[in-house]
Amino acid sequence: MVGGGLGLGVAGMATGDEGIYDDLKGVLYTDLALNVEADMIQYANDTQHEKIVRGLGLGMALIMYGRQEGADELVNGLLDDPDPILRYGGIQTLALAYCGTGSNKAVRKLLHVAVGDVSDDVRRYAVMSLGFILFRKPKSVPRMVELLSESYNPHVRYGAAMALGIPCAGIGLDKAIDILEPMIKDPTDFVRQGALIALSMIMVQQNEAMNPKVGTIRKTLQKAIGDRHEDAMTKFGSAISLGIVDAGGRNCMISLQTQTGNLNMAGIVGMAVFTQYWYWFRLTHFLSLSFTPTSVVGLDQDLEVPSFKFHSATRPSLFDYPPEQEAKTEDAPEKVNTAVLSTTA
């Protein structure tokens, strides 16, 4: 039923279909946490289920996608709520309402919450949401979150890492990498997790000809997975990171905007839901909505692949795939002659 609700919500997203609304509202009033997580509702203050309240926060954020000032009243109401889960929902709503706008007003509000809220969850997502607001200005983000990446609060440090990964995905920005590399050795496991995921986002479709640090970061990810002394959360982050950096067989890019510069709604929504894996790891799969193929596929009228060529004005090494991971083959021990004891003779 969770899948059905999510599927119905995604299929009808932004349509304003009253029939879908009535169907989901009917499920809502059963007051079952598993059902309502896929819904958008209005009685968050009345229910006792934390999952329902959290689901409602994300639902309201999706409703206000791209609304900008039209979402201000709802955002302000949520941010003033005594329930930290609803304040968290207010941050989500602000992030999706102003995504890609670079709004100074939205950035100031996020920074104010990031340093002033009493809830670690709210502060973490406030810092992370800077990436959604500024993803069209990725070079401005490192300067903004550099001090936050050194905060005493590990939740703020995690948010700073993800705030770098979201807008800098696929561009290999050196300044972002310089901030993230020390965070790989952070004393807190989930901060290391966030740093690895952010680095993998930045390194999507980068090879050593484009960025010499690609090889080192790949080795770091492999080492974290194989290290039996490493924490489970960091290993989980490393596993996700290896999947991201090789997304689509290394033929996909994380893109929150289209080739024409417009907002990519599916990509932004996918990234927003992906970041909620903190509470339910299965939501990591939503990141696939942010993947855009970069390969060229041509078919003729018979749906056959024709023979065609492309001219590239740059050297082929710029587009080379990173080398495949080599599996170590252990040499089998040599067979030795059986010892003959003197008593046997």
Q: Which of 98, 167, 158 is nearest to 124 (CA)?
A: 158
Q: What is the DSSP letter of 275?
A: G
293 - beta bridge partners? 252
Residue 34 has pLDDT above 60, yes or no: no
Give the type of residue at 298: G
pLDDT tens by residue, 224-243: 887 777 788 888 888 888 88
Q: Is 208 helix (H, G, I), strand (E, B) or coil?
A: coil
Spacing of C-alpha 235 from chain mean position: 16
Task: Find all residues with CB under 8 Å of 275, minimum gap 6, and list them.
Answer: 125, 128, 162
Phi, psi of 177 (to 5 degrees): -65, -40
Give 325's pLDDT tier (boundaries 50, 70, 90).
Answer: low
Distance CA 178, CA 182 (A): 8
Q: Pull the structure tokens for residue 70.
A: 């039209």
Q: Is 186 helix (H, G, I), strand (E, B) or coil?
A: coil
> 80-94, 147-161, 199-213 — which is least confidently predicted?
199-213
Under 8 Å between Cβ of 99 and 133: yes
Q: Could you give the count of Cα atoms lying within 13 Å of 207 in the half-sphere of its Cβ?
A: 12
Q: Which residue has the higher pLDDT, 309 or 45?
A: 309
Helix 50-63, helix 72-79: angle, nearest 10: 160
Q: Could you give the count of Cα atoms lying within 13 Å of 78 in the half-sphere of its Cβ?
A: 30
Residue 280 has pLDDT above 70, yes or no: yes
Query: Where does the chain show beta strands of DSSP type E?
Result: 252-254, 291-293
Predicted TM-score (pTM) of the model is 0.78
pLDDT tens by residue, 13-27: 666 677 776 776 666
- pLDDT value at residue 61: 86
Unique residue bearing structure tokens 């997203």 = 13
Give 35's pLDDT tier (boundaries 50, 70, 90).
Answer: very low
Q: Pull the structure tokens for residue 267.
A: 């990509």
Unique residue bearing structure tokens 């030795």 = 336
- Residue 221's alpha-carbon distances to 68, 242, 243, 328, in angstroms, are 38, 7, 11, 17
Q: Pull the structure tokens for residue 121.
A: 């969850």
